Amino acid sequence: MLHTQFYNFVDLKGKLIARQMGTYSIPSELGDVVEMIAGVSDFPMPRSRVDKLPLQATDSYIVPESINQIYNIDSIVASSKASQGVIEFQNDASYSTDDLSTFFEQTDEPAAVIDHIVGPFSGQYPDTEATLDIQYITTVGLDADNWYWTEPNWMYDFSVNFFNSKEIPMVISLSWGWSEAGQCSLGNYCSTLGVDSATYVRRTNIEFQKIGLRGTSILVASGDSGANGRTDGDCSGTQLFPDFPAASPYVTSVGATQLAGSVGKLTKSPPICSSYACASSGTEVAVSYDVAAFTSGGGFSNVESRPAYQTEAVETYLKSSVELPPASYFNSTGRAYPDVAALGNNYLIYVSGSVSPCGGTSASSPTFAGIISILNTARLELGQKPIGFANPFLYQMAKEHPAAFNDVTVGDNICTEDGCSSSCKGFKAGMLILIRVLTYVAPGWDPVTGLGTPNVAEMLRYIRGKSH
């Protein structure tokens, strides 16, 4: 049909995929109705980075009970009427069921059942990303109906397959991403039929929009290489490179924080914390390269314009006296991200039979997804529908009930995961407001940590108050 030849390609890990090589075409009479062809010539995209860090006795680590105390969750749980899932891509290695069971035991959390597994699954050689995702979404969104979904291909293929499935979870977390401008970067394949990265992004965004209309909240890691992005780790470019799908206006993008001055006095200290110092509180700041070895992705889309739900929050930031990158480096009228943030450094997971610390916005996204499941439970108990596309709700809540978010006003995303260079540009958390000779940091949205991190008890108070 495509007048082309297919070959088997093998990556360095021995994974095999079939793709065409050379030219391909479609009949001219179909030219006006075919927008693009996926899964034929596109190769796998690199995923969002997950650090496996060395254990250090002096460090403070994050376990599910840390999240419960820091985000004011306490004994609040979700329910089986609320459903949640993590999405992995490109036939990635899965989690180990033995590791998952041990993690529940070591963190003193109720054992969860993964009720639905979709797509390829092999836990023989467990993957850090998959392990982190499933261990934290299940222990934050306790008692929810759990899904684990593997997509063999990339974002567009997933979005179509997911939308067309008869049954889907109410909340999903995606910890994968790549440059918005580089969705067609692995070869000149997209241009064969007149398709470029912007077309790929726009078409996939339509599918994300449809998923939101079905009532599913899509949470996405904002990226681990700051405002410059992974494709420009040395900051040699003359623009910033937003991440996709983090910069989609139809997903909730999640940035990362770290603790400064952490305290280790957990109310209920699980067995794993007998060997490691587990945090119970502290001041949240944006993750930094010096501490976490990555910075939180954030900035402005070059493809999609700013949606109405965030206009007021973003304009307030841009009109403040905060120092911004040169105007030519970013599209100030584009969709701004991230929307929210959560802790993303020094998470303890149990993988391949041992404890391992890791970090990244890949930790922040499943954590916030579990919190959305808690909020969905409250809405369902009130006879309301699940949140669905969450951003209009989150920005409205931040405006009407600021206590629902812990504002983060310290940090930036100027560095990349490769380090810092004098040529690196980026954004700062908080807004600098000048009054005569005084300068202070005011609360509000910023392109590093979004609206801030969650105060779950206050979020629930807002939801219950709106029901009257």
Q: Which of 65, 129, 145, 407 is catalytic?
A: 129
- What are the beta bridge partners of residue 343? 257
Q: Which of 42, 99, 133, 304 is catalytic?
A: 133
Among this protein's residues, is 75 annotated catalytic?
Answer: no
Q: Which of 41, 94, 253, 362 is catalytic?
A: 362
User: Contact 159/204 with Cβ under 8 angstroms?
Assistant: yes
> Which positions ≥6 away from 92 have C-beta within 8 Å?
47, 127, 129, 130, 150
Helices then strands, counting H and E runs in the chain, come out as 10, 21
C-alpha span between 398 and 168 (Å, rounded) = 28
Among this protein's residues, is 129 annotated catalytic?
Answer: yes
Give exposure, 314-344, as e/b (b: 16+ Cβ within 10 Å). beebeebebebbeeebbbeebbbbbbbbbbb
User: Contact 61/362 with Cβ under 8 angstroms?
Assistant: no
The encoded tokens of residue 236 equal 């040699």
DSSP string covering 140-203, please? HSTT-EEEEEEESS-HHHHHHHHHTSSS--SEEEE---EEGGGTT-SSS-GGGGT--HHHHHHH
> Which positions ≥6 away from 157 have C-beta within 8 Å?
38, 39, 151
Closest Cα to residue 141, out of 88, 94, 86? 86
**Taking the CB of residue 210, how many other CB atoms lie within 10 A of it?**
16
The catalytic site residues sit at 129, 133, 362
